[in-house]
Amino acid sequence: MNIQQIDTFFATLRAANPEPTTELEYSSVFELLAAVLLSAQATDVGVNKATRRLFARAPTPHAMLALGLDGLSEHIRTIGLYRTKARHLLATCRLLIERHGGRVPRSREALEALPGVGRKTANVVLNAAFGEATLAVDTHIFRVANRTGLASGKTPLAVERQLMRRVPRAYLDDAHHWLILHGRYVCRARLPRCWECAVAPVCGYREKTAAPHASAG
């Protein structure tokens, strides 16, 4: 995908969704951090279902710690790997209180020092909460970038670095959300919906799929 095609790619996505946002539900930076931490290997729908009740009960690091391991685990038991995530989240709450006055830090280094918070989670928080131009490469973005020719790489970090070089600055703030949503609903893993994809004309995927009813004939 060349520079002109990349511009068309993002201009098209922006026209369809001018103000994209995460599908995770939150009302504070802390809740965003907690939700993203819990979302690893889980769906946003499943995380939201659990956190609606959790955040009503524990909207701050202090309140979350007060739940204790058993209490927190009970709230998130429907989420995959909930025991490990509960331990990480409580440890993160403790560090937020001890090192940052109960507030979520806005530096990558400080975020990645929190238990259970890796580069992807830090990028989401930096972008969605603090408006920084970052790209959190999850499975959707990794697939879309490689499949379309937008950016190629064998690791999420390699894809992230190439995306940061290739995505025009005008689109960088929202590129993370556009790519995730595109991968979640259109450029899906098993059957990409190429027949209804608005960016198909500039996509480099050679095995574009036709609508199921069309192939039946």
Residues with active-site annotation:
120, 138
52: left (phi over 0), alpha (psi -120 to 50) or beta: alpha
Residues 6+ apart with CB under 8 A from 34: 26, 51, 54, 55, 64, 89, 92
Degrees to nearest 5, angle at CA 177 with 156 and 188: 70
140 alpha-carbon distance from chain centroid: 9
Alpha helices in 77-211 (DSSP H): 82-100, 108-112, 119-128, 139-148, 156-166, 169-185
Contact criterion met (CB below 8 Å) for 209 and 188 = no
